[in-house]
Amino acid sequence: MVAQDGDEVGRLAAYAERVLAGTGLTVADADPDAVEGELPVSGSAAAALQDGWDMARRAGQVVL
């Protein structure tokens, strides 16, 4: 897996903000460590976002 530099991370965050615009969710909602000790309510949009983000992260590690 190729390490991301700061510019790539910034572009990814900007893209995520555009995708989430108008949903009431933020990029921080996808980060399970954003609010220490608090997990999103099961079944909530923030929980679904975290699950999807985690699946995408794992899929990026798969080498075909």
User: Residue 2: what pLDDT?
Assistant: 47
Do residues 14 and 26 touch, judged by C-beta distance below 8 A?
no
Residue 33 lies in a domain: yes
Count of structural domains within the chain:
1
Residue 37 falls within a domain, yes or no? yes
Which residue range forms the structural domain that includes residue 33? 6-59
Residue at 42 is within a domain = yes
Within a domain: 64:
no
- 26 found inside a domain: yes
The pLDDT value recorded for residue 36 is 55
How confident is the model at residue 21, as a pLDDT?
85
In a domain, residue 1? The reply is no
Report if residue 34 sits inside a domain.
yes
Is the whole-model pTM more than 0.85?
no
* pLDDT at position 19: 81
Q: Mean pLDDT of successive 10-residue segments in the chain (64 residues)?
A: 61 81 79 62 77 79 63
Looking at residue 62, what is its pLDDT? 66
